[in-house]
Structure 1
Amino acid sequence: MTQAAHTAPPKTKQKKDARDIRADAQKIANSIKIEGQTPIETKAIANGIQRGMEMFLRQQSEKARELDKRVKKVKQLSNQLTQQKSDDVKEESATTQTNPRLPWVLLALSWGLFLVVGIIGFVVNSPS
């Protein structure tokens, strides 16, 4: 036994916010009501407060979007920077891999010079 339930479509956050804003504006207008003020005047004040609240919320959402754009740009720049650093590290490691021969070459040269100096010193100082 199925029952066709007619439910209202899910309410979006914006519509709920608009209803909340309208209710809040009406509460504020009623709280600042002056003696002798007509209901039409109170409704006009509530409408003004509502417009002001909506304008404020729009400005805040614009600021939030701008901030999100800036954060996104900073993240992109930081990703590019880290990528460049990793490329630099790879290049440095490639250059350090060709340098391990240098200490061995210098060691061989120093021993060669030591032997040459030793032999010359022996030949010069030997009794003839």
Structure 2
Amino acid sequence: MAKNISSETQNEAMKVAKSTQKPSQTKEQTKLIALGIEKGIAEYKKQQKSKARDRDKSRKQEIKAKARAAEALDSDTAEIKTKPNVQLLPWGLLVLSWIGFIGFYFIK
């Protein structure tokens, strides 16, 4: 796992370990503390990457859901717009036939 840790992280861990070093502490103990800090930093970075991936996934899912909802809304409004024309046709034919019947009755 030490190979995956960047030199920047190692330097940062060593700085933290040296800043918290006690006067009676040996260099080897400081190195061990620095290794622990490196592992902690690496684990933190993994968690942050995982959280970022999860946020991206959820954001993309929200975008897709909104697009689907907008698509469904557009198709619903398109159906609503075509329905009045279809409903006017039978009524128009009914009125036209009644006008024809009344006209035929008065002509005779």
Q: Same fold (TM over 0.5)?
A: yes
Q: Does 1:72 align with 2:69?
A: no
The one-character-per-residue Cα deviations of 1:8-62 (angstroms, maximum 9, x if unpaired) are xxxxxxx8x8222111101000000001211111111001001001101101111
CA distance in 1, matches of 2:7, 2:56: 27
Q: Which has the larger radius of gyration?
A: 1
SS in 2 for 1:63: helix
Mapping for residues 1-128 of structure 1, pairs under 5 Å: 18-100=6-88, 102=91, 105=95
Q: Which consecutive segments of 4 or more residues in structure 1 shift more than 4 A?
A: 99-103
Query: Match of 1:35, SS?
Result: coil
Of structures 1 and 2, the one scoring higher in RCO (CA 8 A, sep 6+) is: 2
Report how many aligned residue pairs link the two structures: 92
The two structures have a TM-score, normalised by structure 1, of 0.63
Which residue identity lines up with residue 33 of structure 2 in the other structure? I
Unaligned runs of 5+ in 1: 1-14, 113-128
Following TM superposition, by how much is the alpha carbon of 1:84 offset from its aligned partner in structure 2, in angstroms?
A: 0.6
Q: Relative to total residues, which structure has the larger helix share, 1 or 2?
A: 2
Q: Distance in 2 between matches of 1:35 and 1:29?
A: 13
Q: Give the SS at the match of 1:53.
A: helix
Where in structure 2 are there 5+ consecutive unaligned residues?
A: 103-108
**Separation in 2, partners of 1:72, 1:82:** 15
